[in-house]
Chains A and B, each alone.
Chain A
Amino acid sequence: MTEPLLSVDNLRTYFSTEEGIVRAVDGISFDLAPGERRGVVGESGSGKSVTAMSIMGLIEPPAGEIVTGEILFRGQNLLSLGEDEMQDIRGGQIAMIFQDPMTALNPVYTVGDQLVETIVLHQDVSKTEAREIAIQALDDVQIPNAKEKLFDYPHQFSGGMRQRVMIAMGLSCNPELLIADEPTTALDVTTQAQIMDLMLQLADDRGTAVLLITHDLGVVAGFCDTVQVMYAGGIVEAGTADDIFYNPQHPYTWGLLGSMARLDAVQQDRLHSIAGTPPSVIDLPPGCRFRPRCAFATDICGRILPQLREAGNEGQTVACHHADEMDLKTLAVDSSDRIVKQDEVVS
């Protein structure tokens, strides 16, 4: 096994608010191999974006704080670095693109200025060389007339074009890791297809590892090699894309997949929905966080928080006390939308 590019170990990121401590990320661990494309999937409040912010060193005290954990990037603990060193890594070896390409670009500078600034900051080149690199970068993300577009301001670009600029900016310094936080959520579906296609091509060509944070399982299916599913600050299941989509072991993963309306589904009468709402990460229930919404919860689930362990396929991990005992293929949904075992359905 190769040395992981990124290794997150027992990361806990908390925020203090008036209502109490928000345990946004609460003890997650995962590895990312060089060139691996990993999907981080979850609903709002699951902690997926905070995971990305923590890796990027963008958690600002005193509101937010990384309480424990290690984030090793090529063997170096990012959490022990000072702000200056972190700045070198940010935008250099690790790049990030955001959900909203409008707010991520400064409206009072031209796109060229912002690109050149990033490049000069991270590479030992002159301004003229940086401009050449910038034009090449815009060319790479298929922006027509890259040379002239350098002098345009962000508002002169459409949403899709702005996201291309963000990708160009992110990739201009040839990072080893690209973190994409909901990169297509604000875009229309045809534009999303263009952007995902572009990202796939570029990541493939350059061997860039990608951490794709999204709520859209469809986007993950087309793009990612591996997937981790997050729920209320923890990882509930992780494995290859095939493991997660074809052999889910956690009831939440199963419910999430079943609750999606699918373009190719011919006859679905009702969607499987997961009753209830995710818990507030301020008042986490003791034990398993999914317990209040889970039809299989037993006594132990209310007492002990399950840890990730191997279940299902080789290398697949799941945080559920009953993963081995449950046959998810026999699950069904009753008339009040609760997930139950098939023989319990009252029709």
Chain B
Amino acid sequence: MSDTVEEVQVDPSQLPDDIIMRVNHLVKEFPISKGVFFKKQVGAVQAVSDISFEIREGETLGLVGESGCGKSTTARTVLRLLEPTAGDVYFRSKERGVVNVATADRRVLNDIREEIQIVFQDPYASLNPRMTVASIIAEPMTVHDEGNKQSRLDRVKELLKVVGLSPEHANRYPHEFSGGQRQRIGIARALALRPTFMVLDEPVSALDVSIQAQVLNLLDDLQEEFGLTYLFIAHDLSVVRHISDRVAVMYLGKMVELADRDALYDRPMHPYTHALLSAVPIPDPTIEHQRERILLEGDIPHPSNPPSGCRFHTRCPVAQEGKCDVDEPEFRELEPDHWVACHFPEIKQVVV
């Protein structure tokens, strides 16, 4: 494991006041096993390989990357929906102070679950088709034994209004709603326990453009109203630019760049970020015809067998033999608050 970060001699469990979560050397591997009677582990998919980052109180951190980069696994591991293979996730809980989510026992975890919530991508799969909207939204309160039936129902109605639905929808079943409305129900459920931190896992990817805008605006309003902190996972860099304060880019289980929103979009330094940003189409014919695209060669390697050295070197336009395929680049702070993992970083304007 990298030993360069350790030189800063601070206890990682001591969170500064403005930090709500610190992810420290997080690793998540999925074993690949073979055999019918006696399963033998023959390898591992390295979904998340030693990533570290912090999330500030009240901000939106966008986490972007292409399929298989490990962004959704990161989200689920941070929530302990998946057990981390290694690493720590320190979270500032209102009730319990700083807690390491990665190692917390059941009881502590249960308390933490009131403060960290998640909104899922697929509005069709994320609501139990056999429960009414009222019981879906009330479920977290029921689980945590909050209030009585009447108070829970009052809260459900309040939440429905908060997310722009009618309280009268409470007795309907999920399939009676459109995708956008279902996503609002998912958001209401996440808000039920008054969390401080929300993981949004591709919350608008499955929605039509005009509905996306409604949900994004709603998320914006809720953040302001309730002082929420968001970890926003997405593959759509335009949406991430709109909603995020800071943005992290992942490639094949590694974080390659992390910076303030404007710094990342205006002065990206990692060659992968360059390619990613240049590939995103802009709805403007003149700009589109003038832009240069950086087209990557080939496909993303499989995370069960990642390339040596820098994981991007097999597709990188600036990779140098003998360096990039051997040495893994360190995740360095090249400018204030601008972290890059590249041997040959270079500021390049690729958006316009």
Instruction: Report if A and B touch in the complex (beta carbons < 8 A).
Output: yes
Q: How far is the CA of A258 from the CA of B210 in the complex (A)?
A: 9
Residues on A with beta carbons closer than 8 Å to the beta carbon of B238 = 218, 260-263
Determine whether the beta carbon of A263 is less than 8 Å from that of B299.
no
Q: Is there a chain A Cβ closer than 8 Å to B209's Cβ?
A: yes
Complex CA distance for A222 and B180, rounded to whole angstroms: 28
On whether A261 and B242 interact (CB within 8 A), knowing A193-B293, A277-B211, the answer reads: yes
Interface members, chain B 150-200 (any A CB < 8 Å): 178, 180-181
Other-chain residue from B239, B285, B288 in contact with A261 (beta carbon distance below 8 A):
B239
Cβ of B209 and Cβ of A215 under 8 Å apart? yes
Q: Could you say which residues of chain B place their CB within 8 Å of the CB of A259? A: 209-210, 212-213
Q: Tell me, yes or no, whether A150 is within 8 Å of chain B by CB.
A: no
How far apart are A48's CB and chain B's nearest CB, in angstroms? 12
State the CA gap A96–B275 with chains docked (Å).
29
Give the shortest distance, in Å, between B255 (CB) and chain A (any CB). Answer: 18
Nearest opposing residue in chain B for A45, CB measure: B208
- Flag if A273 contacts B210 (CB, 8 Å): yes
> Nearest-CB distance from B157 to chain A (Å)?
19
Closest approach, in angstroms, between the C-beta of B239 and any C-beta of chain A? 5
The segment from B127-135, B276-284, B303-311 that touches chain A is B276-284
Measured between alpha carbons, how far is A193 from B262 in the docked complex, in Å?
Answer: 23
Tell me, in angstroms, the Cα distance from A108 to B212 when the chains sit together: 39
Contacts of A258 in B (CB 8 A): 213
Contact of B237 among A189, A220, A268 (CB under 8 A): A189
Binary per-residue interface labels of chain A (32-67) against chain B in the complex, 1 for a CB within 8 Å, 0 otherwise: 000000000001100000000000000000000000
Once the chains are docked, how many angstroms separate the CA of A277 from the CA of B215? 12
* Chain B residue contacts of A74, Cβ below 8 A: none
Annotate A232-269 by CB proximity to B: 1 below 8 A, 0 otherwise: 00000000011001000000000111111111111010
What's the minimum C-beta distance from B121 to chain A, rounded to whole angstroms? 15
Chain B residue nearest to A219 (CB atoms) is B281
Q: How would residues 192 to 223 of chain A score, 1 for a CB under 8 Å from any chain B CB and 0 otherwise?
A: 11101100000000000000000111111110
Contact A222 B285 (CB under 8 A): yes
Q: Report how far A103 CA is from B293 CA in the complex, Å.
A: 29
- Does A312 touch B at the CB level, under 8 Å? no
- A270-B217, A277-B211, A337-B217 as given contacts; A190 in contact with B66, CB under 8 Å: yes
Interface size on A, residues (CB 8 A): 47
Q: Which residues of B contact A295 (CB under 8 A)?
A: none
Alpha-carbon distance A22/B295, docked complex (angstroms): 42
Nearest B residue to A227 via CB reads: B285
| A105 CB to nearest chain B CB (Å) | 17
Rounded to whole angstroms, the CA-CA distance of A259 and B220 in the bound complex is 14
B67: CB under 8 A from chain A? Answer: yes
Bound CA–CA A337/B180 (angstroms) = 14
Interface size of B by CB at 8 A reads 47
**Contact residues, B322-352 vs A (CB, 8 A):** 351-352
**Could you say which of A43, A194, A241, A273 contacts B296, with CB atoms under 8 Å apart?**
A194
Interchain CB contact under 8 A, B209 and A275: no
CB-based contact A218/B280 at 8 Å: yes
Q: Is B19 in the interface zone, CB < 8 Å from A?
A: no
| Chain B, interface SS category | helix
A337 to B216, CA, bound (A): 11
CB-based nearest A residue for B299: A158
> When the two chains form the complex, which single residue of A190, A263, A275 contacts B214, counting CB atoms closer than 8 Å?
A275
Closest B residue to A186 by beta carbon equals: B67
Nearest CB in chain A to that of B266: its residue: A266
Residue of B nearest to A220 (CB): B283
Is B236 positioned at the interface, with any CB of A under 8 Å from its CB? Answer: yes
Task: Write the nearest CB–CB distance from B176 to chain A, whole angstroms.
Answer: 12
Q: Which of A152-191 contact B (CB under 8 A)?
A: 158, 160-161, 188-191
Would you call B66 and A263 a contact (CB within 8 A)?
Answer: no
B107 at the interface (CB under 8 A from A): no
Decide: B241 and A261 in contact? CB cutoff 8 A. yes
Q: Is A23 an interface residue (CB 8 A)?
A: no
Residue in B closest to A225 when the chains form the complex, CB atoms? B285
B235 on the A face (CB < 8 A): yes
Q: Which residues, 207 to 259 on B, are CB-close (under 8 Å) to A?
A: 208-214, 216-217, 220, 235-239, 241-243
B217 touches A273 (CB 8 A): yes
Cβ of A304 < 8 Å from any Cβ of B?
no
Contacts of A294 in B (CB 8 A): none
Task: Decide if A130 is an interface residue (CB 8 Å cutoff).
Answer: no
Tell whether, in the assembled complex, residue B210 and residue A255 are in contact, meaning their CB atoms are under 8 Å apart.
Answer: yes
Whether B214 contacts A221 by the Cβ 8 Å rule is no
Residues of A within 8 A of B280 (CB): 189, 218, 263
Would you call A43 and B278 a contact (CB within 8 A)? Answer: no
Asked if A194 and B295 make an inter-chain contact with CB atoms under 8 angstroms apart, the answer reads yes
CB < 8 Å neighbour of B278 from A158, A193, A219: A193
A contact residues around B208 at 8 Å (CB): 43-44, 215, 278
User: B283: which A residues are within 8 A, CB to CB?
Assistant: 217-218, 220-221, 245, 257, 260, 262
- A12 / chain B contacts, CB cutoff of 8 Å: none
B181–chain A nearest beta-carbon distance, Å = 8
Q: How far is the CA of A266 from the CA of B263 in the complex (A)?
A: 11
Residue of B210, B216, B282 touching A263 (CB-CB under 8 A): B282
B287 CB within 8 Å of chain A: yes
Indicate whether A289 reaches chain B with its CB closer than 8 angstroms: no
Interface positions of B (Cβ within 8 A of A): 66-67, 178, 180-181, 208-214, 216-217, 220, 235-239, 241-243, 262, 265, 275-289, 293, 295-296, 299-300, 351-352
Closest 7 CB pairs of A and B: A218-B281, A273-B213, A259-B213, A193-B279, A222-B288, A261-B242, A271-B213
Given contacts A192-B279, A259-B212, A264-B282, 13 further A-B contacts (CB under 8 A): A43-B208, A190-B275, A218-B280, A218-B282, A221-B287, A221-B288, A259-B213, A261-B236, A261-B243, A263-B241, A264-B351, A273-B217, A277-B211
24 pairs, CB–CB < 8 Å, chain A vs chain B: A43-B209, A158-B299, A160-B299, A161-B299, A188-B235, A191-B299, A192-B279, A218-B281, A218-B283, A245-B285, A255-B210, A259-B210, A260-B238, A261-B216, A261-B238, A263-B280, A263-B282, A264-B351, A268-B242, A271-B216, A273-B211, A274-B214, A277-B178, A337-B214
